[in-house]
Copies of this chain bind each other. A is one copy, B any other.
Amino acid sequence: MPEKNQYLNPNFLKKSLSELNVSELFQEIRDGNIASLSKGITLLESDLDDHIQKSNELLKLCLPYSGNSIRIGITGIPGAGKSTFIEAIGQQIIQGKNKLAVLAIDPSSSLSKGSILGDKTRMEELSRMPDVFIRPTPTSGNLGGVARATKESMILCEAAGFNVIMVETVGVGQSEIELHYLTDIFLLLLIPGAGDELQGIKRGIMEMADLILVNKAEKENADAAKRAVKQLENAVHYMSQNKYGRFIHVDAVSALQGLNIQETWDKITKDISAWKENHSFSEKRKDQAVYWFDQSLHNGLRNIIHQRNDWQKLYAHLKKEIESGKTHPFTAADEMLNKIINGK
């Protein structure tokens, strides 16, 4: 079996990424070689021109083998116990002969150094399991870029045979929306009695959830957890069913004591089956596909000037004209757009 979660020296990686043969790498990923999968994801995250081209080749090869996993999104305030929860439910998941990949979106990690998955002491047991792949947060990039890299990483994981993918994000803002467009089921982790009833989680984020879990419902906290569940059920009661006809379900779990964890995994698989039956599963995937089309297009359009020599030249010329005050920025933008649209 290949070595697990082997994070190579970045210098070595850089060198090997430029030298590597994409079809060989693809074959190794298809064979379930986790070191190669890891190398493939590092390739996706690179922004060197040469690597971008190779990434695209690799993605094209992997695409036909992607799409068949259950994609689970997990978010929650810092301290809600997301890692412990993933550790606990991860054990359940792989007992069912599944292969589990855990990815993370955390654009803040490069600043705070507190990467959710980079912390090696977390998910220690899970990370030693043979059918588990844990990928730390990319260390740089804006949210859009990180989310796109995660989307692409999922494709590689699926091609490598992982049939359950968990994507974790810290619940502090925009990243939940990306999570919604990445995953089939959305879990929101809260804790009992953390002061105000909604714990700083915005209504919009609660409305995206399929399953709200009050974690840390250890036996000694059972009453507080029950109250929190009741409170959340009341709050959720006034939210209409979402556009896929789903209602938000609230429950209490203890990742630490393993309470209600197996039942949660059972519920997830049952929900997914039901949604496949009533087509809400494919409806959501369809919306996501259109979203990623628009995102990719938008992303490509941002950099389109650099795709043609004549465009690049005109851009540089116009910029000079603007700096010397000969052209107004709006006039110059019109000229540039006209060149792209009408070729003149």
Contacts and interface: CB of A to CB of B under 8 A. Distances in A.
Interface of A: 56, 59-60, 63, 152, 286, 289-293, 295-302, 304-305, 307-308, 318-319, 322-323, 325, 328-334, 336-337, 340-341
B330 A292 contact: yes
B302 A290 contact: no
Contacts of A307: 337, 341
Nearest to A288: B329
A263 to B, nearest CB: 33
Given A300-B337, A340-B304, A323 B286 contact: yes
Contacts of A296: 329-330, 332-334
Contacts of A293: 318-319, 322, 329, 332-333
B333 A300 contact: yes
A333 B152 CA distance: 14
B289 A336 contact: no
Contacts of A331: 60, 63
A302 to B, nearest CB: 7
25 contacts: A59-B330, A63-B331, A152-B330, A286-B322, A286-B323, A289-B322, A289-B328, A289-B329, A290-B319, A290-B322, A290-B323, A293-B319, A293-B329, A293-B333, A296-B329, A296-B332, A297-B333, A297-B336, A300-B333, A300-B334, A300-B336, A301-B337, A304-B337, A307-B337, A308-B341
